Amino acid sequence: MTVLASVSLATFLVASLAATQFRSQPLPPSNRVARDEALRRSVTQLEDQNRALKARVQSLQRAVKTGEDESARRSSAAQELKAQVDDQRTIAGLTALHGPGLTLLLHDGVDPNDAGDRSLGWTVHYQDLQDIVDLLWANGAEAVAVNGQRIVPSSSFHYAGVNILVNNGSRISGPYTVTALGDPSALAGGVGDPDQLAELKSRNRIYGLGLSWVKATRTSVPSYDSTFLVKYAQPVS
């Protein structure tokens, strides 16, 4: 029994070492690894900073709102302006909303591992999200959010390498959930129209890229987690 246990232990250790070696071989030299780790640490630190800055902006927004509310209580002129500001904030996406609408789900399909197919058609691209959001606006959406990020007048989707970014450096990754408030039937009708999102739907068939939607009697979108910086455009006096 002792021999059996010793042999078992020895083979276990040898196999572990072999597996470690097998997995470690493709790794680059240590200075490269250290450099990569430093880069990734920078991203983590910048994302932490991004979250902290957004929290500070939100806190200041609350403080400004409190000051405006107090001003409105003291002056009828300020009260009138404050009511207009509140309306504009709602239009701009600075207020959370709820109501009926549509929830659309999108996720990567299956890599065909075909050397002749370099289209990356099985992955979700930022343009796909952009097309979906545009289609929802075109079908009467009153508010839209993607993975909890409210789409506002200054929103843009873009790539940073393999990452999809929206709204002040917010990195979003699949699966993607697009939420829209509006007439559920009109929104679903727009998305279901065979002439719309035709390319995305063909990739759904070819690569199994996930695309589905469901009407909702009640759904919600969060408020924009930042504010607007206008530096160049000035009102025409």
Partner 1 sequence: MRSQSAEQTARGQRLIIVSLIGIALGFLLVLQLRSQATVAATLAAQDDTSIALLINDLNKANNQLLQQGADLSQQETQLRQALSSGGSDAQAIQKELTTLQLVNGEIPVHGPGLTIHMQGGIMDFELQDVLNSLRQASGEAFSVNSYRVTSSTPIISKGNSLLVGGHSIGGTLVLDVIGDPEQLGPAADLAVTSLQTRVQIVIQRSADLAITEVVTPHPLIYGQLGR
CA distance 11 to 206: 46
Q: Report the alpha-carbon distance of residue 41 to residue 186 in Å, rounded.
A: 45
Judged by CB under 8 A, which of 104, 143, 191, 211 binds partner 1? 143
| Position 120 contacts partner 1 (CB under 8 A) | no
| Shortest Å distance, C-beta 117 to partner 1 | 20
Nearer to partner 1, 32 or 205 (CB): 32
Q: How many CA atoms lie within 13 A of 210 on its CB side?
A: 11
Q: Is 116 in the site for partner 1 (CB under 8 A)?
A: no
Residues 148-207 that bind partner 1 (CB under 8 A): 151-163, 165, 168-169, 171, 173, 181-183
63 is a contact residue toward partner 1 (CB under 8 A): yes
Min separation Cβ 180 and partner 1, Å: 10
What are the φ and ψ backbone dihedral angles of 73, each rounded to 5 degrees? -70, -25
Pattern of binders to partner 1 over 82-101, x per CB under 8 A? x-xx-xxxxxx--xxxxxxx
Query: Site size for partner 1, by CB under 8 A?
Result: 104
108 binds partner 1 (CB under 8 A): no
Whose Cβ is closer to partner 1: residue 99's or residue 210's? 99
- Which ranges in 93-178 belong to alpha helices (H)? 126-138
Tell me the chain's radius of gyration from C-alpha atoms.
25
Decide whether 151 or 211 has the Cβ nearer to partner 1. Answer: 151
**Are the beta carbons of 98 and 181 closer than 8 angstroms?**
yes
Give per-residue burial for 58-85: e unless 16+ CB within 10 Å, then b.
eeebeeeeeebeeebeeeeebeeebeeb
Candidates 14-22, 103-111, 115-123, 207-215: pick the segment binding partner 1 (CB under 8 A): 14-22
Contact present, 216 and 184 (Cβ < 8 Å): yes
User: Whole-angstrom Cα distance, residue 222 to residue 229?
Assistant: 20
Q: Which is nearer to partner 1, 16 or 212 (CB)?
A: 16
* Separation between Cα atoms, residue 179 and residue 166, nearest integer Å: 15
Q: What track of x and - describes contact with partner 1 for positions 207 through 236 (by CB under 8 A)?
A: -------------x-x---xxxxxxxxxxx
Binding region for partner 1 (CB under 8 A) out of 111-119, 136-144, 203-211: 136-144
The contact pattern for partner 1, residues 43-62, with x = CB under 8 A and - = no contact, is xx-xx-xx--xx-xx--xx-
Q: DSSP readout, 101-114?
A: EEEEEEE-------
Q: Does 75 bind partner 1 (CB under 8 A)?
A: yes
Residue type at position 61: Q
